[in-house]
Amino acid sequence: MKVGTISFKETFFIGLMLFAIFFGAGNLIFPLSLGQAAGTELIPAIIGFLMTGVGLPLLGVIAIGMSKNEDVQSISSKVHPLFGLIFPVVIYLTIGPLFAVPRTGTVSYEIGVAPFLSEGLKTSSWGMVLYSIIFFTVTYLLALNPGKVVDTIGKILTPVLLIILAAMLAKNLFSPLGEITAPLAAYEAAPFFKGFQEGYLTMDTIGSFIFGLIVINAIRSKGIDSPKQIAKVCTTAGLIAAAGLGLVYVGLAYSGASSVQALGHLENGGLIISRISNLQFGVSGSLILSVAIIFACLTTSIGLVVACASFFHKLRPSISYRNYVLVLTLVSALISNVGLTQIISFSIPVLVAIYPIVIVLIMLTLLGSMLRNRYAVYTWSVLLTGIVSIVEGFSAAGFGLGISDVFARYLPFYSLGMGWVIPALVGGMIGFVVSLRQAPYALENE
């Protein structure tokens, strides 16, 4: 085991790196939409959003830091070996070609390109088609050998984007576009819980399983191999990244809330940020923002494609990494053309179904030292959580199942989108009792 030290300066820069990794397309658009919809209920709504958009990703990074370099596959395998194969595939498809990668294309198009097109081209589908071909061709070429190009883009464009956002948020704070208006119906009854579920859309809690390993590798490169030190640095770096994300989210949410009088309620956050930047800074400001966002989204797109291609190549090495990159970019390009609003709509049922499972896995990983090898706790807790969350996912997709009416009547918090909480706790207790009566099975990778 290497023994080394790491300075606060080095830890701080690892925290900034983690912030840059987390800060993608969804981090820009969803707080703005939440702000517009929440209106005068902004404070409880943004607190809920910060729980899932900042707090849980932070816990995910800390959990990976404490888990002795385990990845999502090894953690999922504690539930059951078959689950350890299927669930990581679902995770990588979600943050990859089905939702997160196509979203980078649509967000960068709607913010960076569409505002400067003629009305005819903007309303037709050809603008997005042509842009997606260019955007994902570049993604494909750079994902084959990302190297220093992506690092350079990220190191230069992320600070530029933050400076632009800071200027825009400061302008909106001191010269808001209007008064904050009444909330939409969805935020009237339980704004905290609605904001909590809106935080799912960032997908950062899911991404924390992958991003946590990147942080660990960065720490190891400094000569640190002690699990205790790694966990400590992960926690500090995670707090730095979380502080940055929290400040940006609060500023964006307020900007959205104060923009309704000037803009009306727009269908997605991409349109909101584009219109706000144009009103506050004119065409030149919008152009600078557009360039920064296009490259920031491109960096995110390349990074996610690389992560997904690497995972699937490891899972099935008989197919080349190059072919995985090709398939991932082609699928992402096709899906990006359905539009940002539609991608968000399609992703909601999937995220409602899998997010509670991810949350439970993070919590169980944090309790790993207490649970030792009591894998029945993992199995029962995830099983009962999954039953409820999958039913909630079908309901969110518009497929009313008979059992959802039973859950709504008898399961606490179900109407708030939190019906999985009690089953998760009950499942954990059942699993603990079961683990006392039987020997835990051995994992294949142990």
Each residue of 203-246: pLDDT tens digit?
999 988 888 887 887 788 777 878 788 888 888 988 999 999 99
d(CA 108, CA 294): 5
* Judgement on whether residues 307 and 372 belong to the same structural domain of the protein: no
Q: What is the pLDDT of residue 232?
A: 87
Query: What pLDDT is attached to residue 427?
Result: 96
What's the Cα-to-Cα distance from 168 to each of 131, 164, 275, 343, rounded to whole Å?
26, 6, 12, 27
Q: Reply yes or no on whether the pLDDT at 156 is more than 50.
A: yes
Give the residue-averaged pLDDT of 362-368: 89
354 lies in some domain: no
Question: Is 355 a domain residue?
Answer: no
Residue 232 lies in domain: 8-342
The percent of residues above 90 in pLDDT, for the chain, comes to 51
What's the rounded Cα separation, in Å, for the pair 275 and 36? Answer: 13
**Does 307 share its domain with 398?**
no
- 235 shares its domain with 269: yes
Residue 387 lies in a domain: yes
Q: Which of 294, 325, 342 is the last residue of a domain?
A: 342
Q: Which residue has the higher pLDDT, 221 or 170?
A: 170
Is 357 a member of any domain? Answer: no
DSSP string covering 77-146, please? TTT-HHHHHHHHHHHHHIIIIITHHHHHHHHHHHHHTGGGS-HHHHHSSHHHHHHHHHHHHHHHHHHHS-
Claim to verify: residue 204 and residue 326 sit in the same structural domain: yes
Q: Residue 116 belongs to a domain with what CATH number?
A: 1.20.1740.10
Q: Are residues 124 and 181 in the same domain?
A: yes
Single out the residue of 425, 424, 415, 405 nearest to residue 356, CA to CA.
424
Same domain, 382 and 331: no
> Which structure tokens are listed for 133?
């071909």
Q: Is the pLDDT of residue 2 over 60?
A: no
Q: What is the pLDDT of residue 433?
A: 92
pLDDT at 443 over 70: no
Top pLDDT among 116 and 240 is at 240
Counting the structural domains of the chain, the total is 2
pTM (2 d.p.): 0.87
